[in-house]
A = this chain, B = another copy of it.
């Protein structure tokens, strides 16, 4: 089997197949019936499943997220799409106070199998309110799961797993990945939530990366190889629950760690992974842990500044070298 799909096609296929197979799955959100608003990720859904199960909504993120959460309590498996994570701030009460809490707060009597799909849509001079990556905030919240696929294979498999999961899952996809192509089985399959994967084995240093930065990490590793540096790449895939063991075992082997995540630095996902490692594998560490991230600033519009704002393979290469230099 070596059928190739793009990342966005993989998303589309996961939704289509799940809706075909399970009548409790439906999709709602701004632009799910738009020819362009959420890329091609929802193309064809309306035509196939109609107005009942493909609901293009008013611009009311909080209310609409609440509606999805409520439907989940009544046995549905809704997917609520937020075309930009930036819009999700409006919906925080429903995502956190409600969706994340209800199962625990009611002693297990209610559960909320909702998939909350937040799209990272940045670059192109979109500026501060149309660029954000909020994984760190959601990662902080007990009761939520958070996944960030980096490949077409995972985009499909994690979306299937998210829809089937009995808990609220924040599924984060990045438009910078949409045109990447890769092998995607035609049948339904799951990528387990909470399991990372080693994308590349190496012995000198571990780079733990999320989402789009896994691609940049791959490029970085190729460049580093030319200089004789052997990089291990861990693609986290899930930020909550974290695959603690995978990360810790890798660091135990290499003794060095760079974390590459596309959110802001302070209080970002990298902070947690660093703290995890220093709490559990301190003895194995040979060098300070470095974080590759956004700087602590809002996203600027001007492409002249965007270039400096978004981390790339080069940023990862520099961080790796710095860690190696500072090794004990």
User: Which residues of A come within 8 Å of B, CB atoms?
Assistant: 62, 86, 89-90, 92-93, 96-97, 100-101, 104-105, 127-129, 136-137, 139-143, 240, 242, 263-264, 266-272, 274-275, 278-280, 282-283, 285, 287-291, 296-298, 300, 326, 328
Contact = CB atoms under 8 A, between A and B. Distances in A.
A324 to B, nearest CB: 13
B278 A140 contact: no
B279 A288 contact: yes
20 contacts: A62-B90, A89-B92, A100-B298, A101-B129, A104-B128, A105-B129, A139-B267, A140-B268, A240-B266, A266-B272, A267-B272, A270-B275, A274-B274, A274-B275, A275-B289, A279-B288, A279-B290, A279-B291, A280-B288, A282-B287
Contacts of A240: 266
A97 B61 CA distance: 14
Contacts of A101: 128-129, 298
Contacts of A328: 283
Contacts of A278: 274-275, 278, 285, 288-289
Contacts of A266: 139-140, 142, 240, 242, 272
A270 B275 CA distance: 8
B271 A143 contact: no
A60 to B, nearest CB: 12
Nearest to A129: B97
A294 to B, nearest CB: 9
Contacts of A291: 275, 279
Nearest to A127: B105
Contacts of A264: 140-142
A104 to B, nearest CB: 5
Contact of A93 (B89, B128, B140, B275): B89
Contacts of A89: 92-93, 96-97
B267 A136 contact: yes
A140 B136 contact: yes
